[in-house]
Structure 1
Amino acid sequence: MRTGHTPSRSNSEYWANTTIPWFTLADVWQLRDGRRTYLGETTNQISELGLANSAAELLPAGTVVLSRTASVGFTGIMPRPMATSQDFWNWVCGPNLLPEYLNYQLRSMAQDLRGLNLGSTHQTIYKADASAIEILVPPLDEQRAIADFLDRETARIDTLIEEQQRLTNLLRERKLAVIESSLAIDGTTAQGMRLKHFVTEVKQGWSPQCYPWPGDGTTTWAVLKAGAANGGAFRPNETRNCPIVKCRGQKRS
Structure 2
Amino acid sequence: MREMKDSGIEWVGNIPATWKSIQIKNLFTILSGATPTPDTDNWDGDVLWITPADYKTKDKYVSGGKRNISQQGFNTCSTSMIPKGSIIFSKRAPIGTVAINTEVLCTNQGCLSCVSKADTCNDYYYYVMSVGTEHFELLGSGTTFKEISANSFSNCKLPCPDKCEQEKIASFLDERCSAFNCLISDIQSQIEALEEYKRSVITEAVTKGLDPDVEMRDSGVQWIGEIPTHWTLIRIGSLYGLRTQKVSDIDYPPLSVTKMGVLPQLDTVAKTNAHDDRKLIVKGDFVINSRSDRRGSCGISDYTGSVSLINTVLFPITEMNPRYYNWYFHTVGFADEFYRWGHGIVDDLWTTGWQDMKNILISVPPLDEQQRIADYLDSKCAEIDNIITEKKQQIETIEEYKKSLIFEYVTGKKEVQA
Give the TM-score band, short-chain normalised. Answer: 0.5 to 0.7
- 5+ unaligned residues in a row in structure 2: which ranges? 1-29, 210-215, 217-227, 245-253, 279-305, 309-418
TM-score by length of 2: 0.44
The one-letter code sitting in structure 1 at the alignment partner of 2:45 is T
Q: 2:31 touches 2:114 (CA, 8 Å); kept in 1?
A: yes
Distance 2:36 2:162 in 1: 39
AA paired with 1:8? T
Q: Find the counterpart in structure 2 of residue 244 from structure 1.
A: 269
1:135 is paired with a residue whose SS is strand
Give the aligned partner of residue 17 of structure 1.
44
Go from structure 1 to structure 2 and tell me whether the alpha carbon gap of 1:104 and 1:173 turns closer, same or farther (over 3 Å shift): same
User: 1:150-176 deviations in whole A, cap 9, x for unaligned?
Assistant: 222222122222222333333344444
State yes or no: 1:154 paired with 2:195. no
Question: Is 1:189–2:230 an aligned residue pair?
Answer: yes
Q: CA deviation at 1:65?
A: 1.4
2:56 is the counterpart of 1:32: yes
Equivalent position of 2:75 in the other structure: 50
Secondary structure of 1:57's counterpart equals: coil
* Equivalent residue for 1:78, pick from 89, 93, 101: 101
Kindly provide the CA deviation profile for residues 3-26 of structure 1, in whole angstroms up to 9, marking residues without a partner as x: 1333422x3435x50344333x2x
| Structure (1/2) with the larger strand percentage | 2
Q: In 1, are the aligned partners of 2:85 and 2:122 still within 8 Å (CA)? A: yes
The 8 Å contact of residues 98 and 144 in structure 1, kept in 2 or not, is answered as yes
- The 1-side partners of 2:125 and 2:267 are apart by 32
Amino acid at match of 2:41: E
Corresponding residue for residue 141 of structure 1: 164
| Paired residues of 1:39 and 1:78 also in contact (CA < 8 A) | yes
TM-superposed deviation, 1:40: 0.9
Structure 1 Cα separation of the partners of residues 87 and 230 of structure 2? 66
Gaps of 5+ in 1: 204-219
Whole-Å separation in 2 of the counterparts to 1:87 and 1:177 = 39
**C-alpha distance after superposition, 1:146-202 (max 9, x if no partner):** 212222222212222222233333334444444455552464433234455556768
Q: Offset of 1:98 from its aligned partner?
A: 1.0
User: What is the root-mean-square deviation in Å for CA atoms of aligned residues?
Assistant: 3.8
Deviation at 1:62, TM superposition (A): 2.3
Once the 2 structures are TM-superposed, how far is the Cα of residue 241 of structure 1 from its aligned partner?
7.1
Distance between the aligned counterparts of 1:124 and 1:101, measured in 2? 24
The within-5 A match list for 1:167-246 is 167-183=190-206, 184-185=208-209, 187-195=228-236, 197-198=238-239, 224=258, 229=259, 234=260, 243-245=268-270
* Deviations 1:201-226, CA, capped at 9 Å, x for gaps: 689xxxxxxxxxxxxxxxx99884xx
| Residue 68 of structure 1, aligned match among 78, 85, 91 | 91
Deviations 1:95-126 (A, max 9, x none): 43211111111111123323333223575211
Query: After the TM superposition, which of the residue ranges 170-179 and 156-165 deviates more from structure 2?
Result: 170-179
In 1, Cα distance between the equivalents of 2:170 and 2:81? 26
Amino acid at match of 2:91: R
TM-score (normalizing by structure 1): 0.67
The percentage of aligned residue pairs carrying the same residue is: 21
- Contact 2:124–2:169 (8 Å) recurs in 1: yes
State the match for 1:216 in structure 2.
Answer: none
CA distance in structure 2 between the aligned counterparts of 1:235 and 1:72, rounded to whole angstroms: 29
Q: Any conservation in 2 of the 1:97–1:140 contact (CA below 8 Å)?
A: yes
Matched, 1:111 2:134: yes
Please report how far the alpha carbon of residue 71 of structure 1 lies from its aligned counterpart in structure 2 after TM superposition: 4.3
In structure 2, the CA distance between the partners of 1:188 and 1:161, relative to structure 1 (3 Å rule), is same
Higher alpha-carbon Rg: 2
Find the aligned partners of 2:139 and 2:160 in 1 and give their Cα distance. 22
The residue identity in structure 2 corresponding to 1:245 is A
- Counterpart-to-counterpart distance in 1, 2:105 and 2:56: 20
d(CA) in 1 for partners of 2:101 and 2:242? 50
The 2-side partners of 1:241 and 1:45 are apart by 39
2:56 maps to amino acid:
R
3-state SS, counterpart of residue 92 of structure 1: strand
Task: Describe the shift of the 1:77–1:221 C-alpha distance in structure 2 as closer, same or farther (beyond 3 A).
Answer: farther
Preserved CA contact (<8 Å) 1:4 1:87: yes
SS in 1 for 2:169: helix
Tell me the equivalent position of 2:122: 99
